[in-house]
Structure 1
Amino acid sequence: MRKTVNRILTLALMVSAMGVYGQKMKSDHWSTAELLERAKHLKELAAKGDGSASETLENYPHHYTMLAYRQHSGGGELHQNFADIFFILDGHATAVTGGKLVDEKTTAPDEIRGKSVDGGSSQALKAGDVVHIPAGTPHQMLVADGESVTYFVVKVEESR
């Protein structure tokens, strides 16, 4: 009898936990057109600021999504615990990955920034391209004068 009660309690706890987890998770869908419309305000913020702007769209247990706009090159970055996946929605840029950060500085726990990336490999990007940058990899987004790029970002927590 005691075994049966323990099994029932364990099963009830598991079902309860799955129900709570299921209630917290939801599906999200954004069309390219919806994301580009939403990015219009990022373009305005970038023009008033340093030429780039981004916003977090949703947070999930082990990843989050963002929308980003750039009208000039960014500095080098390295995220020790998060991989970046970029989906280019509009415009053109060059992704530099690998190599080494120049004048690196820790800006937050497990987040390092630099003036640029030296010695990385370059890849031209256009609408429809997808880039995966593993955690711990220096990277930089370069935007040519007169160009801009809008991209959807998935930041995925990686265990090392």
Structure 2
Amino acid sequence: MEFTNSFVLEAITREFPESVISTSEPYGFLTLEIKKEDIKKVIHHMKDSSLNYIFLTDLCGIHHPEMPEKELGVIYHLHNLVDNHRIRLKTFMPKENAEVDTLTDLYAGANWMEREAFDFYGIKFKGHPDLRIILNDPELGYHPLLKEYPLEDGTRTDKDDKMFGR
């Protein structure tokens, strides 16, 4: 059996036909969008089945303010070390309900990655053993990677935009 993108895609869609929203292969990297309520069971299956995705390479948040129904998302990168195959899974949610199940019981490394996503985007991870701010000041009062704030300080008077070609 050769471990290809089409083999993995077929195995996942056969097991979870209603969970996969969309698929793509940017630069040959299999990417699936999974329903938020199904993401944990899909990843659990991918880890404990013959697909053997035993390593969580990365977990991060993303913010798309122009898409209210999919404003916040979590991106998971999984790696099958035996067959050297990687996959990207994405799940999205509205900002008002920014909560997804934790993966800390599946991957110990998810602990700090989920805390970072919470810290910077405000995404809550249900069942996380210690979900608290780790990098920002706890008194900050906002999540700095949300695209809700101007990139430049409009009150600055010491800067002339002509210096920056604008």
Please report the TM-score for the alignment, with normalisation by the length of structure 2.
0.27
- Flag the structure with higher strand content: 1
- Flag the structure with higher helix content: 2
- In our comparison, the structure showing a higher alpha carbon Rg is 1
Question: 1 or 2 for the larger relative contact order (CA 8 Å, sep ≥6)?
Answer: 1
